[in-house]
Structure 1
Amino acid sequence: MAGRFSRGLGVVDDSIDVFRDNPRLALLPFLSLLATGSAFLVVLGVGLRYGVVESVLENDILRYAGVFAGISISSSVGTFFNAAIVHCASQYFDGESTSVRDGLAAAWRVRRTIALWSVTAATLGTVLYVIDEKFGVFGSAARIMFDLGWALLTFFIVPVIVLEETASLRSLLRESGDAFRETWGESVSASLGVSFVFLPVGVVGLVGLGWAYFFGSGALAFLVGAAGFVVLVGSMVAAQVVGVVARTALYRYAADGERFGPCVGRDLETVFSTE
């Protein structure tokens, strides 16, 4: 297990190098955060303006509709911009020039598949929310178990959407699940590695924001809060890019048997061994 984790950190380290060579990729997750945040602020503003927030919270049907809409927005926006990163990373691995505009154009070409996936994720998320709410501790346990299994099954869903010519939900899930079974050791350890690298940085930014809000005052509080915000957002953006780059390289190895980017120079038969 320690060997797999160290190899996962190696993949993360090489993915950071890819990000360093393509710093403009940071614009994509930043736009994702901006778009998602703006959408939720608009919805909240409209709800407060017309005084429907309380009605939504008190009415089960409206609350479930709100959960569905929220998951749909976050899933569709996040998947769209992650799809753009996948395209750019794949182009880079092939030695071709790429740009943010190319990535956005590629994501737009698969917009219908992204929409299908987002509606599916929102439907399942809403059903699990209802189960969690209605069945107490058993519902919560079922939701946790299903969330974990679903996360593993769909680990490579965005690379599949971008790199495979299929709009079938069954095919998307099958391709993603097969790729994860082939690369589970490295995939899990790489994901943990991304958290290990970037989570402490994000915590530092969050602490700065918290100190500025609760204890600071004047210009110092403003400066510390602004710095904390920049560090927090920067860590989220970097973690997103690095994580997607690593998944793209791992998926392409699982699908084609070729080493790309972070996979180059590694004994992948050992990396992906289940022993």
Structure 2
Amino acid sequence: MSFFDRLSNGWRITQNSFSILKKNKQLIIFPILSSISLILVIGIFVLGILASAGWDVELIQTENEVLNYLMLFVFYFVNYFIVVFFNMALIHCSKLYFNGEEATVSAGLKFSMSRIGTIVSWALFAATVGTILKVIQENSGIIGKFITGLIGIVWGVTTFFVVPVIAYENHGPISAFKRSAQLMKEKWGESLASTFSLGLIQTLVLLVLAVPVVLIAMYINLYVAVFIAIVAGFLSFAVFSAAETLFISSVYHNITGKLEDHFDQQLVDSLFEKK
């Protein structure tokens, strides 16, 4: 299958993801809640650091590397926990929709709460990996930074199916990582057509939104333009984040043979063609 055929299939599956989101607009609340939670966490971290320095930026201590890395680990942990918690809720809602059941926000949140122990375990594992990579990256030369960068990319690819795996399969963090990598090896192949499609669409949308924002900044008011840009960017991120998570859920259920409608098995197999 050619590269452009893969792009075509990725585009079709992406369209289906947006179609599902259009029929279940309430699902966009999950990435919105995730984003708000992350903003609050970052704010708490920043305020905590400033408070420890007596609200004087110049007094912020950075010499204690152990403390810095410990804080980084905590930040990674909270970040992973929040993202996985709300993504799992969204994935469960998509499963309810595929099964012909009512997909509600409360049902998604309730399911994530029922898997809270698993989410914590994965967040600890992922935060540990992230912190170790950061330590290596900051204490190595150019080659080391390049290698850790590649490892980070591989990590992102191999954990593609982790959220649905820990949601519906009885795996610990390490076995969930291996299971996700196995699914990728079986179905992903060389093409990231869907990711490319989503990225391309989002870029085009942002470019289109940039035109009126620039005009408003030039001819009306700069602060109004900034406000509109922030709101539009936030909503755009939420929509595309939800569509990407729906894509992951749909392909996972298709691969595991638990999805009969909405996505054609042959189409998915051709997109994630094994090499």
Same fold (TM over 0.5): yes
Q: What root-mean-square deviation, in Å, do the aligned CA atoms of Structure 1 and Structure 2 show?
A: 2.5
Q: How does 1:207-246 map to 2 (within 5 A)?
A: 216=217, 220-246=221-247
8 Å CA contact retained: 2:98, 2:259: no
8 Å CA contact retained: 2:18, 2:243: yes
Distance 1:154 1:130 in 2: 21
Which amino acid in 1 is paired with 2:158? L
Distance 1:10 1:38 in 2: 36
Shift of 1:265: 7.1
8 Å CA contact retained: 2:251, 2:268: no
Shift of 1:46: 2.1
Question: Which residue pairs with 2:103 in the alignment?
Answer: 98
Question: Which residue pairs with 1:192 in the alignment?
Answer: 196
Question: Which residue pairs with 1:273 in the alignment?
Answer: 273
Distance 1:244 1:28 in 2: 10
- Of 9-18 and 218-227, deviating more is 218-227
Query: Percent of aligned pairs with the same residue?
Result: 24
8 Å CA contact retained: 2:53, 2:61: no
Distance 2:218 2:4 in 1: 45
Shift of 1:40: 1.3
Shift of 1:37: 0.6
Question: Which residue pairs with 2:205 in the alignment?
Answer: 201
The answer on 1:89 being equivalent to 2:90 is no
Query: Equivalent residue of 1:89, what SS?
Result: helix
Cα distance change on mapping 1:150 and 1:206 into 2, 3 Å: farther
8 Å CA contact retained: 2:186, 2:274: no
8 Å CA contact retained: 1:160, 1:172: yes
Give TM-score scaled by structure 1 length. 0.89
Distance 2:223 2:178 in 1: 50
Question: Which residue pairs with 1:50 in the alignment?
Answer: 52
8 Å CA contact retained: 1:153, 1:180: yes
Cα distance change on mapping 1:37 and 1:218 into 2, 3 Å: farther
Distance 2:97 2:267 in 1: 22
Which amino acid in 2 is paired with 1:9? W
The answer on 1:119 being equivalent to 2:124 is yes
Give structure 2 stretches of 5+ with no counterpart: none
The answer on 1:108 being equivalent to 2:108 is no
- The runs of 4+ residues in structure 1 deviating greater than 6 Å are 206-209
Which amino acid in 1 is paired with 2:97? Y
Distance 1:140 1:197 in 2: 31
Give structure 1 stretches of 5+ with no counterpart: none
Shift of 1:158: 0.6
Distance 1:160 1:264 in 2: 21
Question: Which residue pairs with 1:180 in the alignment?
Answer: 184
Distance 1:46 1:207 in 2: 38
Higher helix share: 1
Which amino acid in 2 is paired with 1:197? I
Cα distance change on mapping 1:265 and 1:149 into 2, 3 Å: closer
Q: How far does the alpha carbon of each residue in 1:206-243 deviate from its partner, in whole angstroms, 9 at most, with x for none? A: 7887x69xx95896222211211111001110111000
The answer on 1:41 being equivalent to 2:46 is no
Between Structure 1 and Structure 2, how many residues are aligned? Answer: 270
Shift of 1:196: 1.1
